[in-house]
Structure 1
């Protein structure tokens, strides 16, 4: 009876401080916070380039504290900084772009939309095009100054564009209209000379090519060839691994533009890139890189030491302030997109590579590449049907069994199992993608975790390692939902996955307190249990164990975690109802579900609990006995008018049209199920 949840990831927004000026580093943050916005904005008009640069750099640092941003916006900061993107002084261009970049990242989607409305894209577009023209002549003034190059400016500009396009459909339209794809491809082509710029361009391309039909229709063969050239590059560094992974994501997003004659070859190269990335042992490599950095620091080798002349990043600043425990952390908006595709907005800047510490850059790039590879596979195995709006927060009522035929037909896309093309499925299996995903779902290397948690700079990698695990679990969920049982190794293969998940879930009590892990693991568990129940395959987790997981999950603040937990209980109960002597366990499940259905503040969760009750007590002698023992009929009769009233009063204001459709189906099913129980009572 459960619906599959198919998360589809989009790239999150990131930012850099944008302050490479030595003078700025002598200013205390406290002094900058106290500096009036009006005074800094006034300095932007100074005839002295150093003063303009200082003002931009100061604004860049100050706006990292989100409570300061409204003060600048009220003084028309965007329109006053925007012209400096085309300032005669290259250093001013770079710091001005960095200030807007931080404003876009720290201000969130609403600020980005406002920046676009204030026409920031006009000077930004001109700047990007000028930068690309200057790549080949960067040795001539004014395109190169001490410590500043046109590529540094381009890097800031590309990241600002990335942030804006992540948050604004209008920005994406401007991107398409102005032909900025070619600009980003030029930045990408600089990878032999400036890998940092190429990676920024690849990140932006990966974001802006996703679900951009207007762009896909106009992509040239030359553009696809340039991406494929990056895909086929052979450099062995972790930064190149990240670059190739991002290029693979771009190619997947633009797959509709591929000539049919090249599709098979390109698909194979794409999956091979992801496969090679995932087979890397991140734990061992991180330990090796950390040891190499220690050796460099002992020997005084500058390549491994912190370069104090390099600009700080949000990663390092957040860590110095306690891993985002106070106002130094960049707040990236959390939210969900429509069509059942989840847009993850993390409260850190995990894809950003620190400067001046090459080994740390490599380790960060490796984890970002593996996370991105898993997200691409999630998208490969995700339905593109536009009918799954936020389905992860909806009930999983099976309308095909209990709803009117016409309604079931109207929602057929919600009910149909996902199906990969035979070619894609074969390619994924040939590269052992399911097995590699399952391996990444294991807990991170304990030695690597210990080293990173105790060392400055490396501490930020702890969250990234756990995030890779969570993405792997989500990826596993989508693979289970989209591949047939035989492709996954039949009954033995599914039982092995079940054993693997049970080890994860029951390793320590602490893991059940992490909401991101809970969301990922309950999604995977739900998909696995549904398949195994459908195929009558025994699984290794008993009802009591599953109850302990679900008890933790139902206390979680995340709605989708609670929904998953209830779905798991429904699947478990419907399977148990077929077994003799299960009445006591069914009573326990029934009481737990009734408690949620009557007390959870979210109507979608209440609906899911009711739907699970329909599953558990739909049929069988054991279920009938258990239902009588817990007074299920009376409890549902009491609950029915309350549910109906809440749906009428709260529904349209709090829930989406698709959620309301499902909730209304549950209301109808509740009435029918009460009738069914009344029939049993009369026997």
Structure 2
């Protein structure tokens, strides 16, 4: 069982992007492509027009055409729309520049890593870098003396600033090379300026700056140290996190445009998003430097949790999903009445009431997702493994020790066979724990689980829009595609996964907390009913998720993979209290056999191990233990047709030790009648030795796995010796 955390090997892209897999495929998509191909060429041509209005129109048309439409986006990419738009960033007309930046921003969000990489390779950072001082100067003028600014300056500056900032934070997640180039720009003072003047700036622009800071401070020492070195920045972050979600009231006498009205409707959600992102930045910083007046503040307890916990209960997913379906139907009816053509004029920027409400619901869902992402970090307790320097002499010594394993095992087996001298052999049953010995940093809130169980259990339950319509469903009913809403589906799927990751980390925090003292954690452990409630709610959610695979259904698989980790954690906390159900046991075995992910296999074994220790479930214990024993006794094999990695063998061997560590339990009859000791001697010991030897210390995590394997091997020898000493 391990903590869930953000993947650092491949930086995640913009979380608000709607994946292509959610969008229609097949004949419908092909028809859409062919029908819009005639629109693409005129747009590309007008990007280079001598008429500034035509250039502005073309940039705007790109944004309209690509919205949730990967087919048209790819058509535009094939015509080098990225290069053409980057050229327009240097246009002499400000309106063209702003529209070009906005189109690139939308391409970046919709296109993902590939299009971001294309932008970076085409040197988009050069014009973006040039915009930074210009935007800073214009913002300073707007903040200090707004009356002196030319008409429409604020709209142009704020629009350009948001697009530039969004482009930068999307690019920063493309590659380490892009991130290093962005670090050279030293954006922290520029971005902090938006937070410092948040009360007089548009909420949308401030939220973009906060998002960029959140991304740049994620495991990026350059940005982290730049903020930590300035106490004013830290104080500003804290003030922003503690600010109100209520937007500044506009002047009631001033007539506002439709676009401004739409912006104000979303302002509360964007202000909340800014606060959440700010606490995310504070957590990314680690501890606040001591000289600061705020260094004594417990950020998690006093700032993060008071903000995050109410957000988890702010949205009922089923109600939101049903409302989205109603709004989709309204939009369909409106589209039938009036459908503007993009061929001659750009689509109106004004959104219908239904579209605005859909956008607000999505913003609320994304805030829940962001809160869960931050809470996952709060719940994490195990530190990341620290790199250990390789030592040639140490390697040689370890190889010599490995070479002597066979000789030692042969001698040990002879001694064990003749060791039945009547004296009981003591065994440290705690040593059979399958977790590697790792330095553990105490969590600030080890008993956080009770306070977040109810909202998390609600957030893991799928709705009718949680997954894209399946291909089989689309074939049987033509209305499902029309009733789909990719942005909502993307947000809901992310929420389910994040909520499960929170449960996983909270369970892990409780599992490793002290069991000795009378504390809240021991009370939770004693509340077996809570454990059963979580277990049943988890399986209830999985019954809706189902086992359907195929293109576009990857989120279902991801939910299963995270869920088995939660099962392991819950089963470990309330070990012996979760009664095994035959169907659930079979599904876990099937998932273990079918999965190609090593960690998923290990988690399945861990969850099964916990189920096998229910006191009265002797039959279930026999089924589970024989399955796990076979896993432990099968030599490692890396071949594609029979992928049996060392991690699975080690976990299985450790599980057998744990399941049968107490010979007084009723289930121990399975160990004796099944001849498990003979299997351990004849097959399992050799399988574990091979697994340990197969570990490559030079690979990432290899040294830790090697150490764990040696520990399991030692425990197995001691366990076999102990069982022989029992004489039955």
Q: Is the shorter-chain TM-score for this pair beyond 0.5, marking a shared fold?
A: yes
Cα distance, 1:478 vs. partner? 1.1
Give how far 1:308 is off: 5.2
Do the aligned partners of residues 626 and 524 (structure 1) sit closer, same or farther apart at CA in structure 2, a change above 3 Å counting? farther
Distance in 2 separating the partners of 1:459 and 1:106 = 12
1:208-247 matches, within 5 Å, as 208-219=216-227, 220-236=230-246, 237-247=268-278
Deviation of 1:565 (Å): 0.8
Output aligned runs, 1:547-558, within 5 Å: 547-554=585-592, 555-558=594-597
Q: 1: distance between equivalents of 2:117 and 2:542?
A: 44
For the residue of structure 1 that corresponds to 2:5, the secondary structure is coil
Q: State the alpha-carbon separation in 1 of the partners of residues 113 and 486 from structure 2.
A: 28
Return the match for 1:482 from 509, 513, 523.
509
Asked if the contact 1:162/1:208 (under 8 Å) is kept, the reply is yes
Q: Which residue of 2 aligns with 1:362?
A: 360
Q: Distance in 2 between matches of 1:142 and 1:192?
A: 18
- 1:631/1:217 CA distance change after superposition, 3 Å: closer
- Aligned: 1:207 with 2:188: no
Aligned mates of 2:35, 2:82 — CA distance in 1: 22
In 2, Cα distance between equivalents of 1:161 and 1:120? 10
Output the CA distance in 2 between the equivalents of 1:266 and 1:588. Answer: 44
Q: Which residue among 669, 693, 713 is the counterpart of 1:622?
A: 669
CA distance 1:531–1:672, change in 2 (3 Å): closer
Match of 1:523 in 2: 565
Aligned residue for 2:52? 49
Q: Does 1:420 align with 2:482?
A: no
State whether structure 2 residue 670 is matched by structure 1 residue 662.
no
Q: Say if 1:593 and 1:610, in contact at 8 Å, map to a contact too.
A: yes
Q: Give the Cα–Cα distance (whole angstroms) in 1 for the partners of residues 629 and 57 of structure 2.
A: 61
TM alignment of 1:358-507, pairs within 5 A = 358-383=356-381, 385-387=383-385, 415-421=438-444, 433-435=451-453, 437-443=455-461, 456=483, 458=485, 460-483=487-510, 484=513, 486-488=519-521, 489-493=523-527, 495-506=529-540
- Deviation per CA, 1:114-133: give whole Å up to 9, x if none: 64465422311222432343
Displacement of 1:638 after TM fit?
Answer: 7.6
CA RMSD of aligned residues (A): 5.2
Give the equivalent residue in structure 2 for 1:333.
Answer: none
* 2:175 corresponds to 1:168: yes
Distance 1:70 1:264 in 2: 53
Q: Does 1:251 align with 2:254?
A: no
1:161 deviates by: 0.8
Flag structure 2 segments of 5+ consecutive residues without an equivalent: 19-30, 247-267, 341-345, 388-404, 406-430, 469-478, 548-555, 636-640
Q: CA deviation at 1:159?
A: 1.5
Secondary structure of the equivalent of 1:218?
helix
Q: CA, structure 1 residues 456+589, in 2 after alignment: closer, same or farther (shift >3 Å)?
A: same
CA distance in 2, matches of 1:95, 1:30: 26
Matched residue, 1:21:
none
Alignment coverage as a number of residue pairs? 588
Q: Distance in 1 between matches of 2:56 and 2:275?
A: 35
CA contact (8 A) 1:124 1:157 kept: yes
Residue 163 of structure 1, CA deviation: 0.8
Q: Which residue of 1 aligns with 2:627?
A: 591
Q: In the alignment, is the contact (CA less than 8 A) between 1:227 and 1:251 conserved in 2?
A: yes
Bigger Rg, which one: 2
2-side partners of 1:142 and 1:209: how far apart?
36
Tell me, what secondary structure is at the counterpart of 1:256? coil
CA–CA distance in 2 between the matches of 1:291 and 1:71? Answer: 31
**Is the alpha carbon distance of 1:509 and 1:581 closer, same or farther for their aligned partners in structure 2, counting shifts above 3 Å?**
closer
- For residues 639-650 of structure 1, what are the structure 2 equivalents within 5 Å? 639=687, 647=694
134-143 or 171-180, which deviates more: 134-143
Aligned ranges for residues 28-39 of structure 1 at < 5 Å? 29-30=33-34
- Write out per-residue CA displacement over residues 437-488 of structure 1, whole angstroms, 9 at most, x where no aligned residue: 44444525779999x9898575642453353233222112212222436434
| Residue number in structure 2 paired with 1:270 | 304
TM-score normalized with structure 1 length: 0.69
TM superposition score normalised by structure 2: 0.66
Counterpart check, 1:562 vs 2:574? no
Q: Secondary structure at the match of 1:6?
A: coil
| Structure 1 unpaired stretches of 5+ | 18-26, 313-353, 390-401, 403-407
CA distance in 2, matches of 1:265, 1:657: 34
In 1, Cα distance between the equivalents of 2:350 and 2:437?
49
1:127 is aligned to 131
Query: Shift in Å at residue 210 of structure 1?
Result: 1.9
CA distance in 2, matches of 1:103, 1:549: 41
Q: CA deviation at 1:101?
A: 3.6
Rate the CA distance shift 1:69–1:518 in 2: closer, same or farther, 3 A: same
Cα 1:91–1:366, aligned 2, differ >3 Å: closer, same or farther?
Answer: same
* CA displacement, residues 275-310 of structure 1 (integer Å, 9 cap, x when unaligned): 22123243486379769969999999xxxx999513
* Cα displacement (A) at 1:274: 0.8
| Structure 1 residues 417 and 85, CA gap change in structure 2 (3 angstroms) | same
Superposition deviation, residue 53 in structure 1: 4.4
The alignment partner of 2:89 has SS state of: helix
User: Could you report, residue by residue, the CA deviation over 1:377-426 in whole angstroms, capped at 9, with x for unpaired residues?
Assistant: 1112224733079xxxxxxxxxxxx9xxxxx9xx99853445113xx569
